[in-house]
A and B are shown apart, each in its own frame.
Chain A
Amino acid sequence: MKAEGMPNHTTPLDEINPRQGQTQLCMKVFVQRDYSDGTTVRFQTLFPSELEGKLDKGAFLYTVNQLNANFAEAEKGSCSTYCEGCLACITAYLMYICSETHYEKCLRKVAKFVAEQNERVYMPRGLLLTNPVDRGLRVIEISILDQPMVART
């Protein structure tokens, strides 16, 4: 009971981020959270102007909408998640040590989706999508790999 259980989302995220060193110096675009529907994880579908000409608007919308859908599913209060919560409570939360929660399963799905999108859409265009979980679910970070970071004036 001392431990937090298994580490929540271990390393799949780390393996997916290739060329990590390169992303340090390039320009980055951040898609911010959309709080209009409460504190559930949703991202704005506003197309960032920096990506104009680099990425198809439809592809961007598809990515964001898919991510939003995944997170909505993770945070949805369905019967099964409530049962899971109740069961964990009855077992004095010892259940979390040995079983994976619904949310963690959804995060796995998100990580897979991000990796797949990177491979199919973003990397060929010189972009890199970062899993929002790595950025504290605050932003979707899109790195423009071939564009150096511009210094602020």
Chain B
Amino acid sequence: MVTNPDNFQHGDYSGVPVEDNSTHAEAKMTLPTHVTRKWELFPGRNRFWCDGRIMMAPQTSVFFVTVSLICVTSTLFFYFDCPYLTIHLSPAIPAVGGFLFLFVMAALLRTSFSDPGVIPRATSHEAAYIEKQIEVPNSANSLMYRPPPRTKEVMVKGQPVKLKYCFTCKIFRPPRASHCSLCDNCVERFDHHCPWVGNCVGRRNYRYFYMFIVSLAFLCVFILTCSVTHLILITKEDKIFFEAVRESPTSIIVVIVCFFSVWSIIGLAGFHTYLVSSNQTTNEDIKGSFTSKRGQSNFNPYSQGNVCSNCCHVLCGPVPPSLIDRRALVTDMSEYQQQESGVGGMGAGEGGANQQPNTVTTNNRSYGATCPPHHESPSGNGLNAQLGCNLATTTSTENISMSPPSLHAAPISIATSSCNNPAPHMVAPIHHGAASIPLSTPSINGSDTSSIRANAGAATNEGGALYESAPLAPKMDLSDLDLDDLDEVMIGVMTSSPPPSTSSANQLSASRLRLLQDTTMIESALDLDSLEESCTSSVGAGSQAGLIRRADLMTS
């Protein structure tokens, strides 16, 4: 979609990669003090600890609730109930309890700290290649740009499976994969995002998760029965129940905690046992991917055939490798930078950036990064401006220079520095669209321009991190940064400068439409990821309809 700006420029020049040299210089500068590993440049929102060994979701507070709930309850049990039960019943009770507890914790930590099966994002080359493959060949003089289809159908064991294009990762998601909107990654064999374990549950950690659930169910039942037994044994010593509770008040706490959690845990364990035996994921089960619809027979093409082999394959089968290879050293910095610029505003990664603010490379992502949801963005204009940033990079690569250079004599440039990491030298200065509209379109009447000016003024006032600076970028004269102004800009351009030939105008509008479509697609992709399968088509159609409407508006 957004092809890499560097490439085109380098291609135009003598092939000497100017940017790359500086990149290497930076890499050399940082190398002696800090070794850059891949997790620091990871584009998703995941958090990493212990130099990338531990990988978790961005929000981990519920995970600590889980851990403390299990630990506190078990500690109370071991400290207050076990001594009595050991003496009166058997020393096997603390042994079994201890084993179960250790197993539960091991499985839980394993689930939480491992990579669920994140599919790395496409490199800019791969994204461009995919884009080229799916591009619909439309005739040169057709005004309407037809967007390429964003789904691909493949046959899996004779069963048609729809692969959806992921706008964030720039890939067609493999079968069974889904994009986790919280972690901002595509995850292989995505099951669900589990806040309790503080991670996605996917192909690589599903077995740990299942073992965790099952062993936790056992532990819960075990502790519940033991605590109840403790209370009953005290009652049997010729005491009333109230006395027993007074003698061992912690037992009743443990019993209450276990009683309320055991049902949901057993239910979950049963549900996942069913899923394992039929080799489905929670995601597929909820969507009903394999239920027969409208008389069409539908079956699970991933099933191994019978319950036993399904269980074996899911729980004991070969463990796929972690594809993001997060501990590896970064050898090819330029690739990452390209990826970053290709991904543009969609990156939204801040996990590594927050932890390692001293590295040059992590600063790199700060431009164009959308504000993570827990940060409040400085203004409503933020998103638009960032989309504009995307637009600006695209337009500069395609070299659509329309207004003469003298027209943007004194443009107001607005830099969108990300709220958590202001790095002015990295941030591409953006000329706000409205600012240069009056210059390039003298034919627009006064009221229009004044309203646009007011718009610009409001935007400048609103933006928290806006400042004026000398424009650094050479070709930023395309000024349709604010999406709301886009229509007006287009009309203005069309009316003010009579095009030398109609074909060029058509080309122009087509490329503009593509830009627009890129942005709208990106915008809708934000919603797409969280939507169910059934809704996505209508959303896509909606955005396309919007495109067509604007195209009509242009032609009129």
Contacts and interface: CB of A to CB of B under 8 A. Distances in A.
B118 to A, nearest CB: 9
Given A24-B335, A25-B17, A77-B309, A141 B126 contact: yes
Interface in A43-101: 74-77, 81-86, 89, 92-94, 96, 101
A17 B107 CA distance: 37
A20 to B, nearest CB: 5
Given A2-B109, A25-B7, A148 B15 contact: yes
Given A33-B174, A152-B131, A38 B15 contact: no
B3 interface: yes
A71 to B, nearest CB: 10
B301 interface: yes
A137 interface: yes
A120 interface: no
Contact of A77 (B113, B154, B318, B323): B318
Given A30-B129, A36-B155, A39-B302, A8 B321 contact: yes
Given A2-B54, A4-B53, A11-B329, A152 B128 contact: yes
A24 B7 CA distance: 8
A1 B105 CA distance: 9
A11 B322 contact: no
Contacts of A10: 327-328
B492 interface: no
B37 to A, nearest CB: 10
A125 interface: no
A94 B174 CA distance: 30
B43 to A, nearest CB: 12
A113 B113 CA distance: 32
A2 B119 CA distance: 23
Contacts of B176: 39
B28 interface: no
A77 B315 CA distance: 11
A34 to B, nearest CB: 9
B327 A103 contact: no
Which of B126, B175, B207 lies at the interface centre, i.e. has the most chain A CB atoms within 10 A of its CB? B126
Contacts of B327: 7, 10
A124 interface: no
Contact of B312 (A4, A13, A82): A82
B416 interface: no
A38 B302 contact: yes
Given A2-B50, A148-B11, A138 B109 contact: no
Given A20-B331, A36-B155, A2 B316 contact: no
Contacts of B55: 4
A4 B318 contact: no
Interface in B106-131: 106-107, 109-110, 113-115, 119-120, 122-123, 125-126, 128-131
B4 to A, nearest CB: 9
Contacts of B107: 92-93
Given A103-B320, A136-B323, A149-B7, A92 B106 contact: yes
Interface in B168-227: 171, 174-176, 188-189, 207-208, 211
A81 B211 CA distance: 18
Contact of B328 (A14, A25, A81): A14
A81 B174 contact: no
A25 B302 CA distance: 39
B494 to A, nearest CB: 23
Contact of B156 (A36, A84, A139): A36
B60 interface: no
Contacts of A103: 318-321
A41 to B, nearest CB: 9
Which of A86, A92, A102, A137 lies at the interface centre, i.e. has the most chain B CB atoms within 10 A of its CB? A92
Nearest to A143: B125
B321 A104 contact: yes
A110 to B, nearest CB: 10
Nearest to B125: A28
Interface string B378-399: 0000000000000000000000
A18 B216 CA distance: 49
B78 interface: no
B165 interface: no
A2 B53 contact: yes
A81 B103 contact: no
A24 B128 CA distance: 13
Contacts of A107: 321
Contacts of A93: 106-107, 110, 208, 211
Contacts of A76: 318
Interface of A: 1-4, 7-11, 13-14, 17, 20-21, 24-25, 28-30, 33, 35-39, 74-77, 81-86, 89, 92-94, 96, 101-104, 107, 133, 135-139, 141, 148-149, 151-152
17 contacts: A2-B50, A4-B322, A8-B322, A17-B331, A17-B332, A24-B338, A25-B15, A33-B174, A38-B156, A39-B156, A39-B174, A85-B312, A89-B207, A92-B103, A101-B318, A133-B323, A138-B126
The 5 A-B residue pairs with the shortest CB-CB distance, nearest first, are: A85-B316, A92-B106, A136-B120, A7-B327, A3-B53
